[in-house]
Every structure is written in structure tokens, then in C-alpha cells.
Amino acid sequence: MGPALRLVAQRLALGLLLLLMVSVVIFAGTMILPGDVAQSILGQSATPEALANLREELGVNDPALTRYFEWLFGVFRGDLGTALTNNQDILTSIVGRMQNTLFLAFWAALISVPLAIFLGLLAVRYRNRWPDKLISAVTLTSISIPEFLIGYVLMYFIGVQLGWAPTVATVYDGMSLGEKLHAIALPVAVLTLVVLAHMMRMTRAAILNVMQSAYVETAELKGLTMFKIIWRHAFPNSIAPIVNVVMLNLAYLVVGVVVIEVVFTYPGMGQYLVDHVAKRDIPVVQACGLIFAAVYIGLNMVADIVSILSNPRLRHPK
């Protein structure tokens, strides 16, 4: 096995180990959440006997270690359990929600990733001139403002005052693609503004770092235009850090959309998680937390593997 394949195997093993450790943290965290699911189901007027019977029926009185391994083995079998509050299969309920979240993240990524790379290249091309300063100022501003505030501002001006987009991002089966895109226009705009700045600035920094290399100076001495130097020499050799930051932001688009989904009442995983946290529905919270962790760890593993495979010294060892 070559050095590159060995490192890839190590990253995969570490990713699986990390996911297992995260499952322990998620389970332990849900165990210490305040509140009582039996009280949430039966209401404040429930008798102590009814609450005790329901807790026994739900299995919340079993030892924590027993419940953890039962949950973990169920996950390995593809069984995420049953929601305590409505007795619905969690996996069946999550599938549609996850599709909605991935749909939102896909369109935000489709806009933000190419635009971030283009703006990063443009900022390098006009370094320390007004396009670079304008792009940097706008991106720094977007980084500094919380996403929920950006969401409410866009909701007020674009949704309420101008009426160009709905303020509630409702999607459902039977809607055409155009109707869905119109419904998610505002949350996509917010997510794009949030992740665009970070990716653009990392692209700019990575390319500027490569621009100091000796082969770039050689290309300049050969008389190549600045655009050709950036596109043909600097950009391909700065792919690894750019891919890393892109993957991190793609992970955010899936995992970090909780706030945006709540602000725009979007029927995705984030809204589903928040609803069941309020109900103290532990199995749903555990399932959502594990899925979010798996997505985040998985995309980071992809970024690490791409970085390894893009290193010529590892692909072609002496």
C-alpha cells in the first residue's frame, strides 16, 4: 500500500472512530437534558402513577448503558427508533426532511462555491486595488452579521416591502421546481451570503500564498499575463486548502441550517430537530444529532482525502 492509500485508510478509520465517540457524547448530552418526555406527552395534569407507567412503557427507566447499546445496535441495523411523542418511525420521518435540507443546501452551494472562487480570483487579480478592497469589505461585513439578522433584514425588505419572495419557505410534494426555487429564494440568499465570504477569503489567501513561489516568478519572467499565471499556475496548486474550506462550508450548509430553517419555517432537518427538542423527544434528538455529525465528519473526511490525493509527493513517491 502506497503512502497516499495508507493515509486515506487512516483518515477513514479515524472518521469512524470519531463518529463513534460523537455518538457517546450525543447520547450523554440528551440524557442530561432538562424536562420529562412523559410529562410532555401527558400534560401537567397527569397523575404520578400515569407518569410512572408511561416512563416504564417508554423504557426511560432502563440503565443508560443498556439504552445506549440498544440505540447504537439499532443504528447499525438502520433502525433509528420510534418518536416518543407521536409513535412514528424516525427514519421515515427524517427522509423527507433530509431531502428538503439537502435541496436547500444544494442550491446554496451551487451559487456560493463558483461565485466565491470567482471573487477570490478577481481579488487576487486586482490585489490592493478597488475591486479587491470592495470585495473584502463586503465579505467582512457579511461575516460580521449573524445569519438570523441577515434573514430578518432580507425578509422585511425583499419579502414584505418588495414582495419578490415569500417570507415563509414552504415546500411540499407536487410543487414544480420553479415554485420550490421561488419558495427557498430568501433562505438560499442568506446561506450564500454566510458561506460566500469565508470561501472567498480562503481562496484569495491560498492563491496569494502560491503566488510567492519560485515557479510563479519564472512564469512572470516569461512574460505571461497575470490572468494566465493565476489560472494556470497559482490556482491549480492551491486546490487543497480551497477544497478544505469548501467542504467545511458545505458541511455548514447541511448541519448549520437550523437557525435559517427556524427563521423561515422551512420543513427541513433543523426545524424537525428544534420541534422535538421542545417536546423532549430524546430518540429524535439523538437521531438528528448523529446524522448531522455523520454529514460533518464525512465531508471533512472527503476534504482530507482530496488534499492527500492532490499532493503529488504522495501520489508519486520516489
Residue 89 in 3-state DSSP? strand
Are 143 and 45 part of one and the same domain? no
The span from the first CA to the last CA of the chain, in angstroms, equals 14
Q: Could you tell me if 297 and 22 are in contact, meaning their C-beta atoms sit under 8 angstroms apart?
A: yes
Are 135 and 78 part of one and the same domain? no
Total-model pTM: 0.77
- Helix-helix angle 64-76:3-31, to 10 degrees: 140
Give the largest Cα separation in the chain, rounded.
Answer: 86
Q: Say yes or no to pLDDT of 293 above 80.
A: yes
Q: How many CA atoms lie within 13 A of 248 on its CB side?
A: 14
Tell me the C-alpha to C-alpha distance, in Å, between residue 127 and each of 93, 124, 240. 50, 5, 22
Q: Name the residue with higher pLDDT: 64 or 204.
A: 204
| pLDDT attached to residue 40 | 62
Are 197 and 108 part of one and the same domain? yes
Are 80 and 195 part of one and the same domain? no
Q: What is the CATH number of the domain that holds 131?
A: 1.10.3720.10
Residue 36 in 3-state DSSP? coil
Are 33 and 165 part of one and the same domain? no
| pLDDT attached to residue 316 | 55
Q: Say yes or no to pLDDT of 317 above 60.
A: no
Task: Quote the DSSP letter at residue 310.
Answer: T
Cβ atoms within 10 A of the Cβ of 49, count?
8
- Which grid coordinates are listed for 253? 450548509
| pLDDT attached to residue 108 | 87
| pLDDT attached to residue 56 | 67
Q: How many residues does the chain have?
A: 318
Are 36 and 161 part of one and the same domain? no
Q: Name the residue with higher pLDDT: 211 or 188.
A: 188
Are 119 and 167 part of one and the same domain? yes
Are 230 and 256 part of one and the same domain? yes
Number of domains in the chain: 2
Are 273 and 300 part of one and the same domain? no
Are 114 and 262 part of one and the same domain? yes
> Any idea which of 48-62, 84-98, 124-138, 259-273 has the lowest mean pLDDT?
48-62
Residue 82 in 3-state DSSP? strand
- DSSP one-letter string for 187-217: HHHHHHHHHHHHHHHHHHHHHHHHTTSHHHH
Q: Say yes or no to pLDDT of 219 above 60.
A: yes
| pLDDT attached to residue 203 | 79
Mean pLDDT on 136-144:
79
Nearest CA to 285 out of 98, 102, 105, 81 is that of: 81
Distance, in Å, from the CA atom of 107 to the CA atom of 176, rounded to the nearest integer, reads: 15
**Band of residue 220 on the pLDDT scale cut at 50, 70, 90:** low
Q: Say yes or no to pLDDT of 1 above 70.
A: no
Q: Name the residue with higher pLDDT: 100 or 310.
A: 100
> For cell 451559487, what's the residue?
111
**Band of residue 62 on the pLDDT scale cut at 50, 70, 90:** low
Give the range of the structural domain holding residue 14, as residue numbers without chain letter: 1-85+279-318
Distance, in Å, from the CA atom of 187 to the CA atom of 154, rounded to the nearest integer, reads: 9
| pLDDT attached to residue 91 | 84
> Any idea which of 138-147, 205-214, 232-241 has the lowest mean pLDDT?
232-241
Q: Say yes or no to pLDDT of 260 above 80.
A: yes
Mean pLDDT of the chain: 78
Are 171 and 210 part of one and the same domain? yes
Distance, in Å, from the CA atom of 135 to the CA atom of 259, rounded to the nearest integer, reads: 26
> Any idea which of 93-107, 158-172, 178-192, 197-211 has the lowest mean pLDDT?
197-211
- DSSP one-letter string for 96-147: HHHHHHHHHHHHHHHHHHHHHHHHHHHHHHTTTSHHHHHHHHHHHHHHHS-H
Are 311 and 190 part of one and the same domain? no
Distance, in Å, from the CA atom of 302 to the CA atom of 20, rounded to the nearest integer, reads: 18
